[in-house]
Amino acid sequence: MHRSLSARHDRFLLTKPFRISRGVKTEADVVTVSLRAGEHEGKGEGVPYARYGESVESALEAIEGVRAAIEAGAGREELLALLPAGAARNAVDCALWDLEARQAGKSVAELIGAPEPEALASALTIVIDTPMMMGAAARRVAGAPLIKVKVDGHLPDAQIRAVRSAAPDAKLIVDPNESWDARLVEAMQPLLAELKVDLLEQPVSAEIDECLERFKPLVPIAADESIHTTAELDVVARRYQVVNIKLDKAGGLTEALKLARATRERGLGLMTGCMVSSSLSIAAALHVARMSDFADLDGPIWLAKDRPGGVEDRNGVLYPPVKGFWGTP
């Protein structure tokens, strides 16, 4: 059956600025793919990320480059060879999963052979601000099970202390987004242990993370920017204790599931993350989050208006989209 593929740029305004070490975001720019075959339509979303040399324009161009192959019937495994890992491949891959599920009259979970996604703890993010403002933000979500603290190299100790004081019972992830150096990572270890931080995410740049190879942290360190696909896992396993999988890095659910299984086989911890996105990105990521020790899927919570029927956050517990939103017939 002939397929018809379309791709477009969608923009979602945020309710407030999302501030991390490398900049501030006030809107989410995504690429939405629609794949039609007869009466069925599959959808997918990718979030191009400048850190990885991506833009909305480059993603749309990449998708246009595989249009003929996808419309002629190329599947998810063929797509792995047609496009490199990234937001463009993610959007097409997830549209293929969604279309396949609808054509088969089955859910994506059934196609995977896994349980349906259920409500799970997902980190609520405290963005970079003064320690006082970060403490105030943490106080508002203190009852959440998991909080992520964005920091940089300026006053991270005071910022983390402020959040921990305001939310004494929550699990904490500290995320410098590559802004620390090796000396600061080492210097911060006693404080991270004292404040019972559960995870330190990508403290140093992926380009210099060899310094972690001989380092014995007091708090587990997760690879984010340092790992995209299974191709980097050998090196990452020598430097990190946890792998953060994002579908936009892996280039879709197909590769993300492979990476999740390989990560578990190596005895490493597993985290599922996201970009600032709509629920269309998160619906697919829930199938990896189900396998994970940590989930950080609060992207849609930052949107002024999400796609109808998407995920719902209730004080740090994330509930799946309504039936039929994505991956269910």
Helix, coil or strand: residue 21:
coil
Q: Catalytic residue among 43, 148, 246, 249, which?
A: 246
Question: Both tokens of residue 10?
Answer: 């969608």
User: Is there a catalytic annotation at residue 148?
Assistant: no
- Greatest CA span in the chain, whole angstroms? 61
| 150 is annotated as an active-site residue | yes
CB 163 within 8 A of CB 134: yes
- Give residue for tokens 């959808």: 43
- Determine the Cα–Cα distance for residues 313 and 134; give it in Å rounded to an integer: 20
User: Phi and psi (nearest 5°) for 116?
Assistant: -65, 145
**C-alpha torsion angle, residues 95, 99, 102, 103 (rounded to 10):** -170
Residue 143 near residue 318, CB atoms below 8 Å: no
Contact indicator for 117, 142 with CB cutoff of 8 Å:
no
Cβ proximity of 299 and 322 under 8 Å:
no
C-alpha span between 9 and 87 (Å, rounded): 12
DSSP 285-318: HHHHHTT-SEE---GGGGBSSPPTT--EEETTEE
Beta carbons within 8 Å of 309's beta carbon, 6+ residues apart: 279, 321, 322, 324, 325
> Which of the residues 148, 150, 171, 249 is marked catalytic?
150
Which residues are tagged catalytic? 150, 246
